[in-house]
Structure 1
Amino acid sequence: MRAFALTAPGAFEVLEVPAPKAAPGEAVVDVERVGICGTDVEFFTGEMAYLHQGHSTYPMRLGHEWAGRVAAVGDGVDSAWVGRRVMGDTMLGCGACRRCRRGHQHVCEKRQELGVRGERAGALAEQLAVPVSSLHVLPDSVDGVLGALVEPGGNALRAARAAEVRHGDRALVLGPGTIGLLVAMFLRAAGAEVHLMGRTDASLAFARGLGFEHVWRENAVPGLPFDAVVDASNAAHLPELALDLVEPAGRVVYVGLAGEPSRIDTRTLALKDVTAVGVLSASPGLDATIRAYADGSVDPRPLVAATVGLEQVGDVLAGNRPPGAGPGPKVHVDPRLS
């Protein structure tokens, strides 16, 4: 089969590799769609922290936002899985440690992260082998496009829920990228008045096109009481701004990661009686995200600007927009395209 591989920072190949076989407890999936995300770009540039911490090494096969159809299963797996349309959890815990036993496999110290951490090959390939325990079935109303948006949507849903907004509350999202826009969609579905802060006219215009009326540059955010602020950016200075902007007794949610350490003044946190929450991983939010997509309460399709084949992935990771791409922040890959 064909698979995309990073061999070094900025270096890549589309290879012919052996098709995966389902080990006991595993399924082999025919991949239909894969999303390219900021984590993949960090591996492409060599900036990803896991590379420097020894959790990831080149060569590596990327791809952790995906959807497909089960083609085969290994020993010990119900054959009824074959033919099901699925997406999968990125976080694969060891299953034996205290965290895994408590249902927190996404923070397992020994976890693999599909296409990210450990030696589990990612989904930028025609087929993928994964533990069947990581699979989530997609209903007919959730096609491959939506299926490959479940993983980023799960992160966003968890961030929106952590904000604990009530109907009529005012929430501010910092960073109108894929995660930030998804957070805004889930907050809007919860009944909040949603504001977004971004850096470029193009990103703010796109957010307006999604129906978000309150969009601002950093120097123009109005002096309104924000009951919750979600930092979905990669800017090191914005965690502090989020804390400054949130109302006393409000909530700040951190789902974005900067390339360098951020600082907040915990005196401000305490004196404002603010609750701060960090979000890592979509794992606890996957099923609820699938339901939201299925019932139409959140529709992230406009976020996808283009769909390319494996041969175009390297160009996208290098920061080049595919010809004819729309204004959305997300590029999808269909490994079946030549």
Structure 2
Amino acid sequence: MDMMLAAYLPGNSTVDLREVPVPQPGIGQVLIRMRASGICGSDIHYIYHKHLGDDPRTSYQGVIAGHEPAGEVVERGPGCRHFKPGDRVAVYHISGCGFCRNCRKGFQISCDDPLRAAYGWQRDGGHAAYLIADERDLVHLPDSLSFKDGCFISCGVGTAYEAVLRGNVSGSDAVVVVGLGPVGMAALMLAKGRGARTLVGVDVQPERVETARRLGLLEHGFVAGPETLAALNDVTRGGASVTIDCSGNPRGRVLALQATRTWGRCVYIGETGAVQFDVSDDLLHRQRTIYGSWVTSVHNMDQCCDDLDAWGLHPHDIITDSFGIAEAAEAYALMAGGRSGKVVIEFTD
């Protein structure tokens, strides 16, 4: 029996490597030779440090980790008709029932069926040489995009893309992104692709602001402080038409809202925590709209790949570090430090 090395997360800020059998695809499933598997901030917050929650439908169930997979189809099970061996794919990381209203819209992330299962959370994910995926969860990866692009698209970039869509970013817009981790940098990249006329970023870490500037993702970058709101209003001439909070921080969320111009759109995609603001002054009297957005749809992930191809943009530019599967512990420790860009695990022949 062929064996492979796989990474599991015991929940105590360590990685457990195990030898497991190479799986075989069943009906409607494909076997994917993994090429790149990303580490997401949610892996760190919800699994790596401590397993949070006890609901088997939403919490980590001790499976092979990694919910940002990309690779090549090498074998397909009975009933597969749309993908074939050799196809380059990313994997939409939640497998839904396919029949509820959310699944029919392509938003399996919001599937309410008890059998909903996320790769790397409730079913085996991408931190191993091979992955079994349902054919319906696959997204074609254009030849112009790398496998590292693909794994990032599977969650982080897809999440940022949905925020840009919810904000309806166009060439008329000044865009402010608060929180310049990997998702925040992706949001700036995608807003640039959509033609935003002014791109502004804010973070508490000077290194991240400088990285975003070096990558050409922003025109104005600020380290968060008491004068940040005034500086944002100055460079956007009274407020941004679209703001996106990727920080998940209470002060970051308020800053994003207050930096939104009258009649502007503010999108929240940063996870966890709370926010408190003055409803009249910060929202109602300024005619602002707040959107809450969680991941994206399969359709929009397909479109994200097509757009990146057309724009000639590569999310892999945001990836700062790559590791082999045997070095998964080092990869997770680096990502957990919060000062790197995107971190991925790569697989080579």
TM superposition score normalised by structure 2:
0.87
The question of 1:229 aligning with 2:243 is answered yes
What corresponds to 1:213 in structure 2?
219
Would the alpha carbon gap of residues 104 and 66 (structure 1) be closer, same or farther in structure 2, given more than 3 Å must change? closer
Give 2:322's aligned amino acid.
T
Per the TM alignment, residue 153 of structure 1 is displaced from its structure 2 partner at its CA by 1.6
The question of 1:176 aligning with 2:176 is answered no
Per the TM alignment, residue 214 of structure 1 is displaced from its structure 2 partner at its CA by 0.1
Describe the superposition over 1:191-216 as per-residue Cα deviations: whole angstroms up to 9, x where unpaired.
Answer: 22010001122111111112222001
The answer to whether the 8 Å contact 1:7/1:58 transfers is no
Structure 1: distance between partners of 2:335 and 2:195: 36
Structure 1: distance between partners of 2:311 and 2:194: 13
Structure 1: distance between partners of 2:200 and 2:74: 43
The answer to whether the 8 Å contact 1:87/1:138 transfers is yes
The answer to whether the 8 Å contact 1:170/1:228 transfers is yes
What corresponds to 1:21 in structure 2?
24
What corresponds to 1:249 in structure 2?
263
The answer to whether the 8 Å contact 1:65/1:148 transfers is yes
What corresponds to 1:60 in structure 2?
63
Per the TM alignment, residue 247 of structure 1 is displaced from its structure 2 partner at its CA by 0.8
Per the TM alignment, residue 33 of structure 1 is displaced from its structure 2 partner at its CA by 0.5
Structure 2: distance between partners of 1:187 and 1:8: 35
The question of 1:114 aligning with 2:119 is answered yes
| Identity fraction in percent | 26
Per the TM alignment, residue 165 of structure 1 is displaced from its structure 2 partner at its CA by 2.9
The question of 1:271 aligning with 2:275 is answered no
User: Quick one: which of 164, 170, 178 aligns to 2:168?
Assistant: 164
Structure 2 segments unaligned to the other structure (5+ residues): none
Query: Which secondary structure does the structure 1 equivalent of 2:74 belong to?
Result: strand
Query: Which secondary structure does the structure 2 equivalent of 1:147 belong to?
Result: helix
Per the TM alignment, residue 39 of structure 1 is displaced from its structure 2 partner at its CA by 1.2
The answer to whether the 8 Å contact 1:173/1:184 transfers is yes
Structure 1 segments unaligned to the other structure (5+ residues): none
The answer to whether the 8 Å contact 1:61/1:115 transfers is yes
Give 2:25's aligned amino acid.
A
Give 1:8's aligned amino acid.
G
Describe the superposition over 1:21-72 as per-residue Cα deviations: whole angstroms up to 9, x where unpaired.
Answer: 1110000100001111111112100164xx3444324523211112101111
Would the alpha carbon gap of residues 103 and 305 (structure 1) be closer, same or farther in structure 2, given more than 3 Å must change? closer
The answer to whether the 8 Å contact 2:94/2:119 transfers is yes
Describe the superposition over 1:248-286 as per-residue Cα deviations: whole angstroms up to 9, x where unpaired.
Answer: 11000011113x333344433222211111111133421
Give 2:268's aligned amino acid.
Y
What corresponds to 1:281 in structure 2?
295
The question of 1:141 aligning with 2:147 is answered no
Structure 2: distance between partners of 1:5 and 1:23: 23
Describe the superposition over 1:121-178 as per-residue Cα deviations: whole angstroms up to 9, x where unpaired.
Answer: 1100010001001111222212212222222222111111222233242111001111
Describe the superposition over 1:228-263 as per-residue Cα deviations: whole angstroms up to 9, x where unpaired.
Answer: 1100113132222222221111000011113x3333
Structure 1: distance between partners of 2:262 and 2:219: 25
Structure 2: distance between partners of 1:289 and 1:70: 20
Query: Which secondary structure does the structure 2 equivalent of 1:251 belong to?
Result: strand
What corresponds to 1:195 in structure 2?
200
Structure 2: distance between partners of 1:262 and 1:314: 33
Query: Which secondary structure does the structure 2 equivalent of 1:8 belong to?
Result: coil
Give 2:243's aligned amino acid.
V
Per the TM alignment, residue 79 of structure 1 is displaced from its structure 2 partner at its CA by 8.1
- Count of residues paired in the alignment: 328
The question of 1:313 aligning with 2:319 is answered no
Structure 2: distance between partners of 1:218 and 1:130: 41
What corresponds to 2:97 in structure 1?
94
Query: Which secondary structure does the structure 2 equivalent of 1:243 belong to?
Result: helix
The answer to whether the 8 Å contact 2:69/2:125 transfers is no
Per the TM alignment, residue 105 of structure 1 is displaced from its structure 2 partner at its CA by 2.4
What corresponds to 1:32 in structure 2?
35
What corresponds to 2:308 in structure 1?
293
What corresponds to 2:275 in structure 1?
262
Further displaced range: 84-93 or 103-112 = 103-112
Would the alpha carbon gap of residues 320 and 227 (structure 1) be closer, same or farther in structure 2, given more than 3 Å must change? closer
What corresponds to 2:341 in structure 1?
329
Structure 2: distance between partners of 1:149 and 1:262: 28
The question of 1:185 aligning with 2:200 is answered no
CA RMSD of aligned residues (A): 2.2
